[in-house]
Amino acid sequence: MGAIEYVSGFQIVLGVLARFWTVWLALAIVLGISIVFKKRLGLYGQLFDSGVGVAGVAICLFWLFTSILASQISPFNPLAQIPIMKDALPGAIVPDSGGVYLFGGDKLARDVFSRMVYGSQIVLAIAPLATAFALMVGITLGLPAGYYGGKVDSILSFLANLVLAFPVILLFYLLVTPGIMETPIPYGMAGLFFIFPIIFFCVLFYTRFKNRPERLYILLGTTILIGGWIYIGLVFDADPFGIVSMDPNELNIFVAVVFASSPGVFRIVRGLTMDIKTRDYVAAAQTRGESPWYIMLWEILPNARGPLIVDACLRIGYTTILLGTLGYFGLGLAPESPDWGTAIKDASRLLRSFIHPALPPTIALMSFVLGLNLLADALREQSMKD
């Protein structure tokens, strides 16, 4: 093979922009429709009343569409190695195929651009879903703790404080070390945490429709059927259709995120519940003879949604940073994983003055967290108006 040829810096920029053409198109369509119909879209539509909200939505949607369309955006397989492209500079042309390593190659001759794009799939598969499960656990335990008080509150608060007493990084290090991953502990914790959404929605529907059995049975049956299907797929890897599954490494990190985040959500929900339960509309529901769980789920929780939505956005950002930190230290995910933390770690030993290969995944992680923070700021502004 001859010497590697390179494209110019201008061609690199054009090449990157061109690779994302499907993302730009999807963004234009979604943002255009959202702006036109913002008055009909409730809280989401209100985000477009401020520049901060538009920026936050645009950045988050960019990475969402990137993760969905990763196979079309990436010019190379993120795990493919082309020996001559080891530590290649940005814009290097692959001799045989004519493809371009837009951001150069890493120490194992993999395309940095493709790995950055595919890394978004891992982040968006773990961070939002793990945060959603943490919300389910925190809400399900925080509502009775704040509403009943007494021994219920004391026991649940003690357990939450016990988890919060551990340093987060140390807690994650203990939960994702290889020794723990070979034991039944992660699957036992997954079995415990993943049952909470099923319990939450069953209680939610029962308290609302217990006097309308024809609708209640349909909702409960659907919840148990879909929830059970997802449950056996994630916890036991026994989905008969082979659709729902999670790599053991990802499952372990997923469980660790839920375990570490749930106490924080619990404390927020508990505090909100203790405040809201003194309101007049809660007293009116108690006078009507509504059950405690009906009051918690249908009177208190809807009025606590603003702070919880803001906290969820911030918590997804924290989880993203945490995933990057774990990847940088080589914990949890497989060594060949294209997640952003692992990509930064792989590139950190390479000395290069011209577009260091650690920059793309670093900027990707930073921009996604920035988008979430902007989105949280806009949501906080809207909740204060309400």
pLDDT in tens, 335-369: 788 888 888 887 776 655 556 778 888 999 999 99
3-state secondary structure of 100: strand
pLDDT band at residue 2 under the 50/70/90 scheme: low
The whole-angstrom separation of Cα 195 and Cα 191 is 6
105 has pLDDT over 60: yes
Show me where the domains of the chain are located. 9-120+338-385, 122-320
pLDDT band at residue 245 under the 50/70/90 scheme: confident
pLDDT band at residue 1 under the 50/70/90 scheme: very low
Print burial letters for 36-74: b (CB count within 10 Å at least 16), e (below 16). Answer: eeeeeeeeebbbbeeebbbbbbebbbbbbbbbbbbeebb
CB-count exposure of residue 172 (10 Å: 0-12, 13-18, 19+)? buried
Q: pTM for this structure?
A: 0.88
pLDDT digits (tens, 9 = 90+) for 49-67: 889 999 999 999 999 999 9
Give the pLDDT mean for 35-44: 89
Residue 178 tokens read as 């290889």
Q: Which among 70, 42, 47, 43 has a CA at the least distance from the CA of 57?
A: 47
Q: What angle do CA 195, 197, 200 make, to 5 degrees?
A: 110
Residue at 93: amino acid letter: I
Parallel, antiparallel or unpaired: strands 100-101 and 92-93: antiparallel
